[in-house]
Chain A
Amino acid sequence: MMAVLRNGLLLAVFSGALWGVLAMIVLGITFALVSGAPAQPSVNAAALAGLLGALVLMLREPAQRTMALRFISAATVLVVLFAASFAQPFGLALDVAPFWQILAILLIVGSVSFTNWACLHDAARGALRRYDFEKILIRVFKGFGFVFFTVIVALPFYVLVMTSLKSQQSLLANPLDFSIDFSGGLGGLFRSYGELFTQFNFGRYLLISSIVSVATVILTLLFSVPGAYAVSRLRFPGRAVLSRSILLIYMVPAIVLVIPLYAVFSQLGLRNTVAGLLIIYPATTIPVALYMLQGYFQGLPAELEEAGLMDGLSRLGVIIKITLPLSLPAMASVSLYVFMIAWNEFLFAFMFLDDPDIFTLSRGVVSLNSSEVPRQHLMAGAVIATLPVLGIFLWFERYMVQGLTAGSVKG
């Protein structure tokens, strides 16, 4: 039964149609977003075009598939695309946004031809061995996977940035128009950002978020470095229990702590203060930092420290002169991870801060989420909150990834 399906031609039909559909959806929608034209991509025509293009490749055995055949295949895709959509691949006359439309069509033809070739270049025409069949099928699925993940990750971020650059009227007029409007100059383009900094106090929020995050990192390290050292290097009763319960503490959900902390901090007058946050944030990050550092310290050779002790250094001296310099990479990972947690923290900032003068960025962006504030301001605020942490992430990606893998027992 399965053996009948393991056929080169069937595979070509499947692969060609899939790539036709994918290329049309992705590039057709990109065309609509970039040009602002009301496109209606003809997915069926594209499926047919991709399918026939793939079959053209299969006319010859793999060894005889020449460059000329590839051109014929690409031409087939182009011709069928036009024929099956009555010369309107995007449901538009060709003189609507002609530059973008022709570019999109060329990209569709090019990408379908390329992927057809990449998937099928060595596919025999008739029945396939199971090994070859699966190899090609996996190729197709992997290609699909790359497109799928890139789109689902990139699309929201693209929309985020582009919405922040729009004006209210153009957003309502055509929600799909994400073309960049240079008519107002750079000032017009970044107007929302300017207004956030001048009228909505975002410069201050940026500063407070930075102070809170950096202070949290410093406090967390001050607490967790000695703690991690003690757990990993010193012998004391209760050590085993402690090193196992650190993570358990980390599993305690913030929402369970919110009510008692809210009640107590209200009565102590700490609720609506930055100091209150600077008590809570380190307390929630210390366990994971301690856990990460402890794992790293255990991996360091103890002989070095013993040599230091023999030479008359105190414990503190050993930690400062030997252990810390050796664990700089781990410290970097922990710092970045803690910074990310503090910068992105929402729950406590939202519950505890009422005074607009001490909002963190998270809290400030939430305050933009009202019907009185235009959407592009909300998106611009989100971009301001995202850029620093993404920038740091990209800059220090190696450390950040280590931190994430070591520390992401957290959600």
Chain B
Amino acid sequence: MSSIEPTSGPPKGIGPMQRREARLAYGMLAPTFLIIASIVLIPLLANFWISFKPVQLADLRPPTPVANERVRGDATAVGDQIRIEYRLRNSSRERGIADVVMTDSWPTGLTPVDLDARCAIENQNLRCALGDLEGGYRERLRIEVTVEQAFLDSALNPRDSKPVLTGESENILTNAELTLDNFRKVFAGSEFWSVLKVTIYYTVFGTAGALVLGLFAALLMNQAFRGRAILRGLFLFPYVAPVIAVAFTWVVLLDPFSGALNAILQQTGAAGGPINFFGQREASFTLLGLEFTFPLALTTVIAFEAWRYFPLSFLFILARMQSISGDMYEAAEMDGASPLQQFWYLSLPQLAGILSVLFLLRFIWTFNKFDDIFLLTGGGAGTRTLTVDVYEQGFALANLGAGAAVAVVVFVVLFTFSIIYFRFSPKDEG
């Protein structure tokens, strides 16, 4: 704040004070901007780029020229001939390497009989300009040499120094080869649409479940009683504990054979046999003579989501409830409004704002969620969401390009949500 400026309103032009202030501000923001640009913004763009490229996971290792050196024959006297052999190959089967040069230094006292045309030797230093090696290239480069006394005396071996190879290979990530295959592959199978359906199902019900549980918990805690602080702390455990801990606990708890829950259900007669909560795609039950089928693993995963994230909605809703003035309720009480009427006509309208903001935020974050499903089911049994599909395509199937293409879909859907959120969020709460 420049205290010298008159407070009657911002001046039209930018004065030297402001310019200094702006420069200071940019300076203070520069480190943040740099790290966010390099770890978030540029990778985001890079992801779009990769989604148009035919990149496999293995392509991240650039092709390199490799040479193994062998020595054939025994040298016992001056004038004996031995053969030095370089077994050359390109480490990549598909991609070529340009301008490969091999250098190696030999012990003294070796004279080549006839040198390969690509090679030259100078001061015991061999230099071979091998040119371009195409993918899968293999060659045995043989050089016959005669030995002199110096070599026999030195007891050195040509293999003592390793050949050094240099070459240029195209970086698969930066070359201009572009393709739409990744997107074609992603959208082609019927799989994609089922993944999208599962994602929507998971996001909608996971968000709604967490919100309803959070609202219920907040209603319970919105009154003073002994032990409230302890209970509130306990209710936050699922969210604060590391995801690996709670996810594996659920896996162990719900294990069909050694899990406590299945044991309880069977012992009390609630279930006939072990239920594979995370491994069974569909389950059916009969109610009033009608048979209902529902996706079991997906439902369990949604239950986990609601369980793990209700504490968050709980905290927000409770904070909002505690800021509602009590006068209104006293007036309603005087007018004889029943508790449910008070909740319905007074509390809910007051909570509508926070509930809708929470719904959108949780919706976005549930949509983004990867860890939970990945750890619970690995995306099996009909629980593969878009985010798990990114991993599946990119790393399990080792097709980075296809994974990036799914990630593009994730981002586009998300971007739409975010725009909706910022359009509708009240200015003071966003």
Q: Are B234 and A252 in contact (CB under 8 A)?
A: no
Q: Are B268 and A41 in contact (CB under 8 A)?
A: yes
Q: Which residues of chain B are within 8 angstroms of A231 by Cβ–Cβ distance? A: 25, 29
Chain B 335-378 interface mask (CB, 8 Å, partner A; 1/0): 01011100000000000000000000110111111110001000
Assuming A230-B25, A365-B244, is B400 touching A259 (CB within 8 A)?
A: yes
Residue among B55, B252, B312, B387 with the highest chain A CB neighbour number at 10 A: B252
User: Of residues 374 to 411 in A, which have CB atoms within 8 Å of B's CB atoms?
Assistant: 375, 378-379, 382-383, 385-386, 389-390, 393-394, 397, 400-401, 404-405, 408-411
Q: Given A150, A171, A254, A264, which contacts B231 in the complex, CB threshold below 8 Å? A: A150
Tell me how far the C-beta of A167 lies from the nearest C-beta in chain B, rounded to whole angstroms: 13
User: Of residues 236 to 289 in A, which have CB atoms within 8 Å of B's CB atoms?
Assistant: 236-237, 239, 242, 244, 247-249, 251-264, 266-267, 279-280, 282-284, 286-287
Asked whether B424 is an interface residue with its Cβ less than 8 Å from the other chain, the reply is no
| Interface segment, one of A7-15, A80-88, A131-139, A191-199 | A131-139
Assuming A134-B340, A230-B24, A346-B243, is B410 touching A255 (CB within 8 A)?
A: yes
Q: Are A252 and B40 in contact (CB under 8 A)?
A: yes
Total count of chain A residues near the partner, CB < 8 A: 113
Residue among B24, B244, B391 with the highest chain A CB neighbour number at 10 A: B244
Q: Which residues of chain A are within 8 angstroms of B369 by Cβ–Cβ distance? A: 411
Assuming A153-B237, A283-B35, A410-B365, is B28 touching A260 (CB within 8 A)?
A: no
Assuming A33-B260, A365-B245, A382-B249, is B21 touching A411 (CB within 8 A)?
A: no
Q: Which residues of chain B are within 8 angstroms of A163 by Cβ–Cβ distance? A: 252
Q: Are A411 and B242 in contact (CB under 8 A)?
A: no
Q: Are A257 and B236 in contact (CB under 8 A)?
A: no
Q: Given B42, B220, B234, B367, which contacts A142 in the complex, CB threshold below 8 Å? A: B220
Q: Given A39, A222, A259, which contacts B407 in the complex, CB threshold below 8 Å? A: A259
Assuming A236-B25, A382-B249, is B46 touching A134 (CB within 8 A)?
A: no
Q: Given A227, A259, A378, which contacts B29 in the complex, CB threshold below 8 Å? A: A227
Asked whether A130 is an interface residue with its Cβ less than 8 Å from the other chain, the reply is yes
Q: Are A160 and B43 in contact (CB under 8 A)?
A: no
Q: Given B21, B47, B338, B395, which contacts A256 in the complex, CB threshold below 8 Å? A: B47
Closest chain B residue to A256 by CB distance?
Answer: B407
Asked whether A366 is an interface residue with its Cβ less than 8 Å from the other chain, the reply is yes
Assuming A176-B260, A259-B50, is B338 touching A134 (CB within 8 A)?
A: yes
Q: Are A263 and B50 in contact (CB under 8 A)?
A: yes
Assuming A230-B29, A284-B39, is B60 touching A411 (CB within 8 A)?
A: no
Asked whether A187 is an interface residue with its Cβ less than 8 Å from the other chain, the reply is no
Closest chain B residue to A248 by CB distance?
Answer: B418
Assuming A149-B235, A227-B28, A249-B36, is B368 touching A411 (CB within 8 A)?
A: yes
Give the docked Cα–Cα distance between A383 and B253 (Å): 15
Q: Which residues of chain B are within 8 angstroms of A176 by Cβ–Cβ distance? A: 260, 263-264, 267
Asked whether A186 is an interface residue with its Cβ less than 8 Å from the other chain, the reply is no
Tell me how far the C-beta of A137 lies from the nearest C-beta in chain B, rounded to whole angstroms: 8
Assuming A247-B430, A378-B248, A411-B362, is B220 touching A149 (CB within 8 A)?
A: yes
Asked whether B390 is an interface residue with its Cβ less than 8 Å from the other chain, the reply is yes
Tell me how far the C-beta of A253 lies from the nearest C-beta in chain B, rounded to whole angstroms: 4
Q: Are A260 and B46 in contact (CB under 8 A)?
A: yes
Closest chain B residue to A157 by CB distance?
Answer: B237
Give the docked Cα–Cα distance between A253 and B257 (Å): 36
Q: Are A153 and B234 in contact (CB under 8 A)?
A: yes
Q: Are A256 and B44 in contact (CB under 8 A)?
A: yes
| Interface segment, one of A47-55, A107-115, A302-310 | A302-310
Q: Which residues of chain A are within 8 angstroms of B32 by Cβ–Cβ distance? A: 223-224, 226-227, 286, 290
Q: Are A369 and B410 in contact (CB under 8 A)?
A: no
Q: Are A379 and B252 in contact (CB under 8 A)?
A: yes
Give the docked Cα–Cα distance between A153 and B249 (Å): 12
Assuming A159-B253, A236-B26, A259-B400, is B220 touching A146 (CB within 8 A)?
A: yes
Closest chain B residue to A25 by CB distance?
Answer: B268
Q: Are B375 and A346 in contact (CB under 8 A)?
A: yes
Q: Are A267 and B173 in contact (CB under 8 A)?
A: yes
Give the docked Cα–Cα distance between A398 and B366 (Å): 26
Q: Which residues of chain B are within 8 angstroms of A283 by Cβ–Cβ distance? A: 35-36, 38-40
User: Of residues 241 to 276 in B, which have CB atoms within 8 Å of A's CB atoms?
Assistant: 241-246, 248-250, 252-253, 255, 257-260, 262-264, 267-269
Give the docked Cα–Cα distance between A214 and B171 (Å): 37
Closest chain B residue to A171 by CB distance?
Answer: B258
Q: Are B414 and A365 in contact (CB under 8 A)?
A: no
Q: Are A266 and B29 in contact (CB under 8 A)?
A: no
Q: Are B236 and A259 in contact (CB under 8 A)?
A: no
Q: Are A237 and B22 in contact (CB under 8 A)?
A: yes
Tell me how far the C-beta of A286 lies from the nearest C-beta in chain B, rounded to whole angstroms: 6
Assuming A234-B24, A365-B248, is B18 touching A390 (CB within 8 A)?
A: no
Q: Are A390 and B241 in contact (CB under 8 A)?
A: yes
Asked whether B180 is an interface residue with its Cβ less than 8 Å from the other chain, the reply is no
Q: Are A257 and B387 in contact (CB under 8 A)?
A: no
Q: Given B43, B237, B244, which contacts A261 in the complex, CB threshold below 8 Å? A: B43
Give the docked Cα–Cα distance between A253 and B243 (Å): 17
Closest chain A residue to B41 by CB distance?
Answer: A249
Q: Are A305 and B241 in contact (CB under 8 A)?
A: no
Q: Given A145, A236, A340, A404, which contacts B21 in the complex, CB threshold below 8 Å? A: A236
User: Of residues 301 to 342 in A, which have CB atoms within 8 Å of B's CB atoms?
Assistant: 302, 305-306, 309-310, 315, 340
Tell me how far the C-beta of A241 lies from the nearest C-beta in chain B, rounded to whole angstroms: 12
Assuming A251-B418, A256-B410, A340-B240, is B3 touching A234 (CB within 8 A)?
A: no
Contact sample, A vs B, 9 pairs, CB 8 Å cutoff: A176-B260, A176-B264, A226-B32, A231-B29, A251-B368, A256-B43, A257-B44, A259-B407, A262-B60
**3 nearest A-B residue pairs (beta carbon):** A411-B365, A283-B39, A236-B22
Interface on B for A, CB 8 Å cutoff? 1, 3, 18, 21-22, 24-26, 28-29, 31-32, 35-36, 38-44, 46-47, 49-50, 55, 60-62, 171, 173, 216-217, 219-220, 229, 231, 233-246, 248-250, 252-253, 255, 257-260, 262-264, 267-269, 307, 309, 312, 315-316, 319, 336, 338-340, 361-362, 364-371, 375, 387, 390-391, 394-395, 400, 403-404, 407-408, 410-411, 414, 418, 422, 430
